[in-house]
């Protein structure tokens, strides 16, 4: 079915978004990302979804915020998919689950534990939340080229942020023991969006990946406001990864 009007939640219509989209949670982050795009302009700001569209190497690229948590991410993916988007890259923040992950480090997710509820409305828990290998590899190459501290592995997505930050204040029993279990299992960090992004994107046959900036070291119990240069560093890595994907997609198209 052809899309002929603006989508109800994201406020975007045909031609408003590029096929490649950088998706932060914070609407205030999309203007920052737009600075890395050529001729970027704001095309919509509806609810938590703020979108700028410009170009990278001549290819239309957008950045759209998703707000916090799985429900708004899922809605955003669904509507972007209907508009023809095929590649999504989350640029977010996370809390470390391992002592070697420090403030300002980057974490590239290959998959995410589904400790939140939104994907359960799509498919049972047995279905894994896995990132696109193409996107993961592009992120790793970009992080290495930038010589920045980064980690690659399985992360965990949650609904209740403060249950992880301050488990001892929660009435739910064994909250701290649960965090310790995931630490022993080798989970790198916790966020709120990646597993929904991975599950819904894969079901809709889209590519998706995630890179997160650590803003909370293990056991700190609080989120830190980092120097803006750390966010800038992550965004440069993400944009470079998108450039690599665009270049490879172009080579594949030429061979066909």
The residue count of the chain comes to 256
Query: What residue ranges define each of the domains in the chain, with the CATH number in brackets?
Result: 20-255 (3.40.50.1580)
Buried b (16+ CB within 10 A) or exposed e, 102-130: eebbbbbbbbbbbbbebbeeeeeeeeebb
Spatial distance between the Cα atoms of 189 and 194, rounded to a whole number of angstroms: 11
Spatial distance between the Cα atoms of 122 and 128, rounded to a whole number of angstroms: 12
Q: What is the reported pLDDT for 2? A: 60
Sequence-distant (≥ 6) Cβ neighbours of residue 135 within 8 angstroms: 87, 89, 207, 208, 209, 241, 245
Q: Which residues of the chain have pLDDT under 50?
A: 256
Q: What is the reported pLDDT for 17? A: 97
Q: What is the reported pLDDT for 219? A: 74
DSSP string, 28-60: GGHHHHHTTSEEEEEEEEETTEEEEEEEETTEE
Our answer to whether residue 216 is catalytic in this structure is yes
Q: What is the reported pLDDT for 251? A: 64
205 conformational bin, left if phi > 0, alpha if psi -120 to 50, beta if neither: left
Q: What is the reported pLDDT for 202? A: 98
Q: What are phi and psi of 236, to 5 degrees?
A: -65, -40
The answer to pTM > 0.75 is yes
Q: What residues does 21 pair with on adjacent strands?
A: 62, 88
User: Of the residues 38, 216, 232, 249, which is catalytic?
Assistant: 216
pLDDT per position as a tens digit, 212-229: 999 999 877 778 888 999
Q: What is the reported pLDDT for 90? A: 98
């Amino acid at each position: 079915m052809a899309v002929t009007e603006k989508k109800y939640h994201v406020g975007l219509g045909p031609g408003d978004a590029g096929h490649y989209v950088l998706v932060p949670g914070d609407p205030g982050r999309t203007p920052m990302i737009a600075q890395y795009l050529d001729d970027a302009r704001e095309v919509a700001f509806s609810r938590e979804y703020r979108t700028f569209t410009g170009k990278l190497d001549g290819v239309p690229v957008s950045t759209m915020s998703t707000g916090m948590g799985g429900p708004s991410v899922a809605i955003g993916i669904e509507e972007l998919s209907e508009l023809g988007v095929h590649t999504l890259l989350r640029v977010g923040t996370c809390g470390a689950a391992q002592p070697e992950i420090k403030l300002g480090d980057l974490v590239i997710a290959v998959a995410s534990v589904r400790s939140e509820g939104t994907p359960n409305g799509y498919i049972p828990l047995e279905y894994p939340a896995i990132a696109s290998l193409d996107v993961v590899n592009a992120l790793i190459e970009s992080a290495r080229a930038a010589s920045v501290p980064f980690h690659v592995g399985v992360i965990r997505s949650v609904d209740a942020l403060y249950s992880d930050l301050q488990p001892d204040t929660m009435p739910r029993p064994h909250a701290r023991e649960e965090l310790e279990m995931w630490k022993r299992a080798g989970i790198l960090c916790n966020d709120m969006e990646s597993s929904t992004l991975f599950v819904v994107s894969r079901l809709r046959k889209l590519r998706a990946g995630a890179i997160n900036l650590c803003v909370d070291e293990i056991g700190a119990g609080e989120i830190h406001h980092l120097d803006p240069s750390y966010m800038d560093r992550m965004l440069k890595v993400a944009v470079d990864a998108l450039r690599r994907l665009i270049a490879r997609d172009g080579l594949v198209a030429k061979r066909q």
